[in-house]
Chain A
């Protein structure tokens, strides 16, 4: 029998990795006079807020804009978004931590999501994921993550590289994909989903 698994802080439940600082005052809505927000980012966030009847709805597009700019949802990025949206940073941090696509730690320039859900794993995704991780090694510029179903089971096993879908991949494509990314080329272009015709015989166009 395996022993009781414990987290770093000694507890059997995940909890917090470090104790909360009880002396720190709760964060309030950042003071616009004290937080510098790049004009372009401010415009993007304000445009997003204007699209909805309620400004809070812009949380996801605003966080995405900040992440696109800074590479991840850093505390500074979240503070800037909070300042423009007039919400607390904690509100945005709670939202950002809910969604898989927000990076809560510094991430590389490229993101590679490898689908490891049922269909892809039936077709070899777990081995593919390991091969891509191997090929990337400890390169900080390429972030590789196993991801839940990306909605492209027709091209299983598949990957989403910087939000572009490719598949089906062979194991040998792993090294080529990483090589292409490092060289600044479009990776495995012939496997792009956009090129794929529909499978339905009734869809064949005249």
Chain B
């Protein structure tokens, strides 16, 4: 049984209120952090080995250290625009334990010397936005945010900002543009947000789960937290398991847990009589794995070694009752819809991929189309300002290479049916 940190007692009635959260020891890490010098906070986060939980897996301590020192307008943005298909961990965390997020935000801001923070929450999460708003008001009333927090010389203003429905705003620079009141188009990097982000100021952007882990790290110490998990993948991770499993939901596991345990022991595996055909280990952007890969340990490095990624920690299981073409089409159509249109390879590539997949579906395609489609994917990857195009290209490429026979068989059966008709 792995330790639960973020989901522990998450269903306790009233946990979303300050009273219950405080009674369970909430905000004690903040008191501790306020007594530390800011550099010591960053050092603890760094020592913990915590890697970003939003998708990229960048070491959180190092990210924080990138921000320039000194007295200037610096910003912290909590990325709560959870939109990666298959991911729903931040939703449950924010809904049930909003104060832990606020505590994490104040600790992270204190470490990097930031005096203004924003929570960018996706527009569809209205219930969660209300809960966070109420929690922010309570925290402000109790002096946990605002001017001179708990009598210290540290002040932090936290503003909740709601998006309005755009996947691209989960990309950090698209998010910044959206927060500035523009269309959510990603920006050219460099400059990276740590130097020039929101309102051109140095900006630290962290995912909800990353920030929510920080109070615990301050409580037990970075070195202690680093003992959890796998090499180069410290700690626990809330994994969203969905699709063809009997008990879909969020499960907190120690990184390095065998994927089979998560999919079968926790989520119940596919319905009786069905087998796992393919699974996305880290949201719909991650290259797919098959039944043969179920024993891969669920951590950053093991999944990277298998040619895929941990991403946002969302496992989508597809069983053998579903044609791979259906899955590929859903994925491609999603990215076509969400491409902001700024970069040609992504705007055109997602569109062409959908149209080529539709040709396969109708039987107009030949096996050569699969090669053309694979080459389109190669031309998208690495050629855009952000990774939205890559996020389609990677899973589609993996489906073409791993399920080529099935796709060719589908074309052939369609063509034979046409001939017979």
- List the B residue with the shortest CB-CB distance to A53: B199
Interface centre among A148, A201, A202 (most CB of B within 10 A): A202
Residue of A nearest to B126 (CB): A163
Find out whether the CB atom of A118 lies under 8 angstroms from the CB atom of B9: no
Contact residue among B4, B178, B243 (Cβ-Cβ distance under 8 Å from A202): B4
Known contacts A164-B126, A203-B11, A154 near B327 by CB under 8 Å: no
Q: Let me know if B163 and A198 touch, CB within 8 A.
A: no
A185-B297 Cα distance, complex, nearest whole Å = 48
**Residue from A52, A56, A95, A121 whose CB has the most chain B CB atoms within 10 Å:** A52
B247 contact set on A, CB distance < 8 A: 199
Q: Chain B residues with Cβ under 8 A from A150's Cβ?
A: 124
> B85 touching A119 by the CB < 8 A rule?
yes
Contact status B181-A200, CB under 8 Å: no
CB < 8 Å A-B pair total? 188
Q: For chain A, residues 63 to 122, give those with C-beta under 8 angstroms from any C-beta of chain B.
A: 63-64, 94-95, 98-102, 113, 117-119, 121-122
Report if A118-B166 is in contact (Cβ < 8 Å); known contacts: A151-B124, A198-B92, A203-B7: no
Known: A53-B116, A57-B161, A60-B178. A119 touches B86 (CB 8 A): yes
Contact flags (1/0) for B69-96 with A, using CB distance below 8 Å? Answer: 0000100000000111111101110011
- The answer to whether A202 touches B8 (Cβ under 8 A) is yes
Question: Would B83 and A95 count as touching, CB distance under 8 A?
Answer: no
CA distance A68 to B127 in the complex (A): 16
Q: Interface on B for A, CB 8 Å cutoff?
A: 1-4, 7-13, 73, 82-88, 90-92, 95-96, 116, 122-127, 159, 161-167, 178-184, 199, 240, 242-244, 247-252, 266-267, 284, 314, 316, 318, 322, 326-327, 330-331, 334, 337-338, 340, 364
Sample of 12 A–B contacts (CB below 8 Å): A57-B181, A61-B161, A64-B162, A117-B330, A151-B91, A151-B125, A153-B86, A165-B127, A194-B95, A199-B251, A200-B250, A205-B12
Where the two chains meet, the residues of A that have a C-beta atom closer than 8 Å to any C-beta of B are: 1, 51-61, 63-64, 94-95, 98-102, 113, 117-119, 121-123, 147-156, 160, 163-165, 193-194, 197-206
